[in-house]
A and B are shown apart, each in its own frame.
Chain A
Amino acid sequence: MAKKLMKGCEALGEAAIQAGCIHFFGYPITPQTEVPEYLSRRLPEVGGVYVQAESEVAASNMIYGCAATGVRVFTSSSSPGISLMAEAVSYMAGSQLPVVIVNIVRGGPGLGGILPAQSDYWQATRGIGHGDFRVIVLAPSTVQEAADLMIEAFDIADQYRNPVMIIGDGIIGQMMEPVEFKKREPRKLAEKNWAASGAKGRAANKIHSLFLDPVKLENHNILLKKKYDEVEKNEQRFELYNTQKPYELLIVAYGTMARICKTSIALLEEENISIALARPISLYPYPYQAIKEAARKAKQVLVVELSMGQMIEDVRLAVEGERPIHFYGRSGGMVPSPEEVCRELKRILAKKP
């Protein structure tokens, strides 16, 4: 397929269709409204189903019902809407349903703003809703990567029978970039013999997360934990940038912020200052080991986020106190320029670690 110039939100919608998902339930919210807009005209062309729900609460429960029948389905929202979806996400994790959720994060808390932010890292990576569960969270830094991850997200969701979130900031959703929908080798997936799709020639299937017997509920949680252990073993993704030669400092950043940091690294390269970048792509499972090893080659670490400091907690868990960790963050929709990041880097490098 040839490259097309597309907005991130539209590319995410098209990528879902390319992944064989033609069912979408959603609700308008800035800055992701282009996803439902695109799909409301595109899905009827491919024989799919587009439903505008009455709320994010309803949209997320609709994808719960649709996924329960064994049909590929996704929804899309932004921060306040994701908070409303948290209820159903917990039920879907508990009932082990494969769904994909796009989260184009905007500034918060509360109604916050509509500009790019990474302030929902905790919400996304710490389970979103009530209960002992995890959501697989993938963070693209380009529109192309958003499309690639989106296509694979459906396979990942099906393989682990678990919600998968594609998390981007408003820039990923709104920016136009060339994108190609690549054919990829689908994963080997088991049949959905667990689905509630009519009990023809088999015992009835019950999609549920209620276990009144504490022994059974604990066993259920142990089963889920084993699944998350598999996810942590198999699905860690990250990019190491400029790590081939010696570097003084390691930046850890993800999404759009990582992309800005790459420009900062190039700018400092001209002044013979060598900086490397570790970019987590899977925010859960978090690539702790990769970051620990990359940090060991540096004297110090700088975490850069579009938040007041959320992912930094995972970096601390990764580095385990072996290196000093600094933080630079902007929030509320403010996005630092590469030069601003350079200034921060120079300020840190000027001090003895």
Chain B
Amino acid sequence: MQAIFSRPKSMSTTISHYCPGCTHGIIHRLIGEVLDEYNLKEKTVGVAPVGCAVLAYNYLDVDFIEAAHGRAPAVATGAKRGRPDLFVFTYQGDGDLASIGMGEIVHAANRGEKISVVFVNNAIYGMTGGQMAPTTLPMQVTSTCPQGRDVQTAGFPIQVAEMLSSLRTDAFIARVSSHSPKNIIEAKKILKRAFGYQVSGRCFSLVEFLSTCPTNWGLPPKKATEWLEQNMIPYYPLRIFKTPEEGKIL
């Protein structure tokens, strides 16, 4: 009998701690599939963030380094420069990458580190229980902006893919979503292309995944999916922002 569907070899059998309806699990699986397809399991080092995905190393069965909050791109820089033969990726949330780790991601991208970044944007802090993130939408209610995000005092949500695309250094930068089967299939293609740029030693790559957080958004999973589609995608358009072949295509 031919197996047509199985667990990626790059994933462990550990049951995840993610909430029902959260898309971290889907994104993990896409990473596992792409690592398998490039046959990278034995030469990969993942860098885990601080946030809900801090325990990503329990679910992806590859060598891992746990970084301090926001520092994953610096940690990955050290790993990749030390061992350029390894495949090094970071997995970071929006609080980790777009707030406390903004300096590290900008400079890793600007140096053109040959690393890959999986950036999960769910517009809220998940692990600490639903506080305002740099990506929280205008008027979105969180536990630290109970009246909704006031752009007069908190500014507008940071569009990370667009911002990093403004750098002159070659890179592959795209935004995808994980909220529907159609988007997930598209997301995998783009993730595979992003990882490919590191496999060929070409350039830095970053894929921003729009993701749901039903628990902290206070919505059932199905409603959360709809909320992402109706509120996040208009502000965070899904597209390829930059490729090394064409430079900046924003």
A contacts, CB < 8 Å to B: 23, 25, 49, 51, 53-55, 57-59, 61-71, 73, 87-88, 91, 95, 196-201, 204-210
Contact = CB atoms under 8 A, between A and B. Distances in A.
Contacts of A71: 82-83
B226 interface: no
Contacts of A205: 63-64
Contacts of B43: 198, 200
Contacts of A69: 45, 78-79, 82-83, 86
Contacts of B45: 68-69, 196-198
Nearest to B75: A65
Interface string B76-91: 1111111100100000
A73 B82 contact: yes
Contact of A54 (B62, B67, B68, B107): B107
Given A197-B45, A198-B45, A61 B71 contact: yes
Given A65-B74, A88-B68, A197 B63 contact: yes
B78 A62 contact: yes
B5 to A, nearest CB: 23
A68 B75 contact: yes
A197 B55 CA distance: 19
B219 interface: no
Given A64-B75, A66-B82, A204-B57, 15 more contacts: A53-B74, A58-B103, A58-B107, A61-B104, A62-B75, A66-B78, A66-B79, A71-B82, A73-B78, A197-B86, A199-B42, A204-B64, A205-B64, A207-B64, A210-B55
Majority-rule SS of B interface residues: helix
Interface of B: 41-45, 47-48, 54-55, 57, 61-68, 71, 74-83, 86, 103-104, 106-107, 111
B108 to A, nearest CB: 8
B172 to A, nearest CB: 21
Contact of A65 (B41, B55, B82): B82
B64 A65 contact: no
A23 B61 contact: no
Nearest to A199: B63
Contacts of B47: 65
The 9 closest A-B pairs by CB, nearest first: A65-B78, A65-B75, A66-B78, A61-B74, A62-B78, A71-B82, A66-B82, A196-B63, A208-B66
Contacts of B42: 198-201
Contacts of B48: 208
B76 A65 contact: yes
Contacts of B62: 199, 204
B78 A68 contact: yes
A198 B106 CA distance: 26
A51 B41 CA distance: 28
A53 B67 CA distance: 16
B78 A25 contact: yes
A63 to B, nearest CB: 6
A65 B55 CA distance: 17
Contact of A198 (B67, B78, B80, B86): B86
B31 to A, nearest CB: 14
Contacts of A198: 42-45, 63, 83, 86
Contacts of A73: 78, 82
Contact of A207 (B66, B68, B77, B111): B66
A88 B66 CA distance: 11
A69 B47 CA distance: 12
A167 B65 CA distance: 28
A204 B57 CA distance: 9
B42 to A, nearest CB: 4
Contacts of A25: 77-78, 81
Contact of B65 (A87, A200, A207): A207
A62 to B, nearest CB: 4
Nearest to B83: A69
A209 B61 CA distance: 18
A66 to B, nearest CB: 4
Nearest to A64: B75
A206 B75 contact: no
Contacts of B75: 61-62, 64-65, 68
* Chain A CB within 10 Å, residue with most, of B47, B67, B106: B67
B57 A61 contact: no
Nearest to B107: A54
5 contacts: A61-B78, A64-B67, A95-B66, A196-B79, A210-B55
A22 to B, nearest CB: 10
A57 B103 CA distance: 10
A95 B55 CA distance: 15
B68 A91 contact: yes
A87 B106 CA distance: 20
Contacts of A95: 65-66
A67 B81 CA distance: 11
B81 A57 contact: no
B81 A206 contact: no
A217 to B, nearest CB: 14
A58 B73 CA distance: 9
A57 B82 contact: no
B103 A62 contact: no
